[in-house]
Structure 1
Amino acid sequence: MAQALFFLQLVALCSVSECVQHQYYFINQVKNWTEAQRYCRENYTDLATADNMNDTIELIKPVNKARAQNIWIGLRKTSVYTWHWSSGDTVLFLNWASGQPASSNNCTVMRNGHWFDWSCSATCFFICYNTNSGLVFVNQTMNWRDAQSYCRQNHIDLVSVRNQNESQQLEKFINDRNSSGSAVWIGLFRDTWQWSDHSNSSFRYWNTAEPNNYGGDENCSVIETNAQRGWADNPCHYQFPFVCHEDKLIVIQQNLSWSEALRYCRQNHVDLVSVQSVEMQRRVMNVVKLASTEAVWLGLHNYCSMNMWLWVNGDMVCYQNWAPGNGSTPENCKLENRKGAVQSGGDQTWISLPESHTLNFICTNY
């Protein structure tokens, strides 16, 4: 009875949403973009990065009282085009039609189950997603940017596709609602912008008609102080105030057993990291690339007497990101204590390993 009650208490915890943001700091000193970057790296983590709309809301808070016309953030143009999801999801799967992408178009449609690069100014139906109702087919034609704005204002964002199964589900969803077989916008786009901290975040919050590269040398990004607080491109040598961020996840490049890693994090930070949401997994994926081992310890351990995995903070494993063949309780778990790690390469899924293995690990300051 006690075990059943304990299990019910754990299940209840799964309904509690996790709020994960960077910590942002508005610096009311005017510097060019490179000087602002140097200041943030010396005093915090880096110039501000925003991974999603929640981050953007938090990012705006410390600058709301600023009277500056523009405020630097950490997004800078490079020479390399990269495909991203509008939602900020990492691109782990692509489903291009044969010969695609075939042009310099920077947006993507789905048609007959495959993807095509498309002019972002074209008008198409589109698919949003919503936390409660799932996929939403919008029977209006808009260009890609307007479709993105519509989804963000009325739902969450344009749809992302993370694997073959999701692609097949999306194809069926579209076919059931789009009898004409016309092209439909999804959230995949490409650009040349990269964050100063080299994170994988693909989230963008450009103002209408931005970025426009006015004058041909607008290679750095700012928050504009209009009502929307959207972003714009500006020449990097201009001088503005700026926003730094401080990361709460730290990769420790020491090879320790799981128990030693746990002790280290609790003595020097807060704890080994618990990954209870897609957002936290994305942050882990951004920092784990700094590791020197093929896998990195998480705060995930097997609770043998309950035949289940738990996080070190006591939460049940609600969000799942196990690699195939992992995540079940081994028959000999009492003899060989198993702990959870995240792969530092590939699709960065979780694996179970004997706790005596020595790996890098991720501490959290949350």
Structure 2
Amino acid sequence: MLLVELGLVPTQVHNGDGEHNYKIILQNKNWIEAQKNCRENHTDLVTIRNEFENQLVHNAGKESNTPFWIGLRYNKSTQLSWFDGGQSNYTNFTTTTIRKDTMFTYLNDDGSWIQSNTPENASALCYESFIHVSKHKMSWEDALNYCNESGLLRIESDEDQIETERELQRQKISGPVWIGLRQSRLFGFWIWVNGLNMGNWSNWKGGRQPEHQKSQYCGAMEKVNDKFKWSDKDCNTTFRVLCERR
């Protein structure tokens, strides 16, 4: 297969919380080169938020016979940080002491993490986000056409919200950005662009959806008091757009 010849082996892991799409890069690169490769060809070096994801990453990296890079790096100003903007307090280092002179992190063949103070060459694990962010601003109607068959982004669970926030933080976007929500002007209920009702899960600013007749009809997401929340906006206003990536 051409992918194998290029040193790129795709791994998709499906589970009850959604889809994790990882790409193992078998070419030996230092951490900086690995991150650049991931950002240019995929989304970023992988982020790990919990034990479940650590096991998924461990399984996805079994094509590599050596430890491989993940997206955790020590930064003297922010200390330990995931460079895609993901937030997590979970760690799985081989020792309980985190050395502040070690900059880069590998995942070992047993799933544990190893610190390294030199950007040596190794394989890397990238991930693909299910979210595409437009480069340009546009109205909600233009956003609908821009996303085309893949559709404007639907956010229907805590897991969807976490992944959306991760991508916005990675791209340093605080919003507003268009999402796939729109209100019926006649009946006042909010629906997703595929025609489905919102369901039981929502994330409105202030904890409740905008009142009918007072609403601005189109749904966006923006940072409010340091948290990403849904809000109603004038449909003709131009924002960047979140699409489902296919």
Structure 1 length normalisation: TM-score?
0.56
From 105, 116, 124, the equivalent of 1:221 is 105
Match of 1:126 in 2: none
Counterpart contact for 1:253–1:292, Cα < 8 Å? no
From 59, 70, 82, the equivalent of 1:73 is 70
SS at match of 1:200: coil
Deviation at 1:300, TM superposition (A): 0.6
Deviation at 1:325, TM superposition (A): 7.7
The CA deviation string for residues 12-34 of structure 1, in whole angstroms up to 9 with x for no partner, is xxxxx963344211111222212
Counterpart contact for 2:73–2:83, Cα < 8 Å? yes
From 238, 241, 244, the equivalent of 2:123 is 241
Counterpart contact for 1:296–1:343, Cα < 8 Å? yes
From 52, 72, 83, the equivalent of 1:196 is 83
The CA deviation string for residues 56-101 of structure 1, in whole angstroms up to 9 with x for no partner, is 3332222124321x211111001134xxxxxxxxxxxxxxxxxxxx
Counterpart contact for 2:184–2:217, Cα < 8 Å? no
Moved over 6 A (4+): none
Say if 2:113 is the partner of 1:231: yes
Q: Following the alignment from structure 1 to structure 2, what is the Cα–Cα distance between the partners of residues 313 and 236?
A: 49
Can you give the 5+ residue segments of structure 1 that lack an aligned partner in the other structure? 1-16, 82-191
Name which one, 1 or 2, has greater alpha-carbon Rg. 1
**How many residues are treated as equivalent by the alignment?**
229
Q: Following the alignment from structure 1 to structure 2, what is the Cα–Cα distance between the partners of residues 342 and 60?
A: 33
Structure 2 length normalisation: TM-score?
0.80
Can you give the 5+ residue segments of structure 2 that lack an aligned partner in the other structure? 1-14
Say if 2:27 is the partner of 1:29: yes
The verdict on how the C-alpha distance between 1:200 and 1:40 changes in structure 2, with shifts beyond 3 A counting, is: closer
Counterpart contact for 1:277–1:319, Cα < 8 Å? yes
Q: Following the alignment from structure 2 to structure 1, what is the Cα–Cα distance between the partners of residues 23 and 17?
A: 18
Q: Following the alignment from structure 1 to structure 2, what is the Cα–Cα distance between the partners of residues 331 and 254?
A: 30
CA root-mean-square deviation: 2.8
Match of 2:241 in 1: 361
Match of 2:46 in 1: 48
The verdict on how the C-alpha distance between 1:332 and 1:324 changes in structure 2, with shifts beyond 3 A counting, is: closer
Match of 2:228 in 1: 348
Deviation at 1:332, TM superposition (A): 6.7
Matches within 5 A, 1:111-130: none
SS at match of 1:254: coil
Deviation at 1:324, TM superposition (A): 2.1
Matches within 5 A, 1:173-212: 192-197=79-84, 199-210=85-96, 212=98
Counterpart contact for 1:294–1:345, Cα < 8 Å? no
